[in-house]
Amino acid sequence: MTEQNKKQEDLSAVIAELEAKCAELPNNVIAHHHLALVYRKAGRTADALRELHKCLELDDHSIEAYINLGAFYFEQGELDKALAVNQKAIAVLPTLAQAHANLGLIWQQKGEAEKAIAAYQEAVQHDPKMITAWVNMATAHIMAGEFDLAEKAAREGIKLNPDFAMAHNNLAVALFYQKQPEKALAAAEKAQALGYPVDPRFLTAIRQELA
């Protein structure tokens, strides 16, 4: 038996166990939520969505179900549904940083930079150590042409995790548009060294500024 087949068999066994648990305890939100997550891992999207909706039928304050349902919709490109679900999560728990950060990503995908920035700012207000919110905020500031603020946000991300490659890339972009090509190149090369796929055209543009 291959390793892949073994993992699939183990996953099937877990699914069978959780399905039995849900049949035994049909009103248990935790059981349905665990089953949804395992369905998702198995690639059974429709089943996972059904279970997440079941969680919310049983408990419309289930934060975990809202967050995972929003992630599903976001991955499928259903941004309006993802937006609505995360807004419901925030209505239940206004200080939920992850939901605010998720709204930032959704607004960013919609091209609404200012709304994205506001959402990220709300996220880091509730969780100042949320690195992804700082780094994505830098991206949104770049979209808005606010390069000094983008630099500050990227540096906050780097302060929290010096090896966060995307933060260095965003810092490079912010510095480049602030006419600081030497610093931009150093940040871009750092991002590249950490494994970030820096756009070769961007590197070329920086080097042309330095020529």
Whether this prediction's pTM lies above 0.95 is answered by no
Where residue 4 falls among pLDDT bands split at 50, 70, 90?
low
pLDDT in tens, 194-207: 999 999 999 999 99
**What is the number of H-type helices and E-type strands within the chain?**
12, 0
Q: What are the Cα distances from residue 189, in Å, to 94, 132, 195? A: 39, 20, 10
pLDDT in tens, 121-144: 999 999 999 999 999 999 999 999
| Cβ atoms < 10 Å from Cβ of 81 | 16
Rounded distance, CA 26 to CA 66, Å? 19
pLDDT above 50 for 82: yes
pLDDT in tens, 59-73: 999 999 999 999 999
Rounded distance, CA 34 to CA 19, Å? 10
> DSSP state, 146?
-
pLDDT in tens, 7-43: 566 778 888 898 899 999 999 999 999 999 999 888 8
Mean model confidence pLDDT for the chain: 94
Contact, 66 vs 88, CB < 8 A? Answer: yes
> Buried b / exposed e across 148-165, counting CB within 10 Å, b at 16+?
ebbbbbbbbbbebeeebb
Percentage above 90 pLDDT, the chain:
86
Percentage above 70 pLDDT, the chain:
96
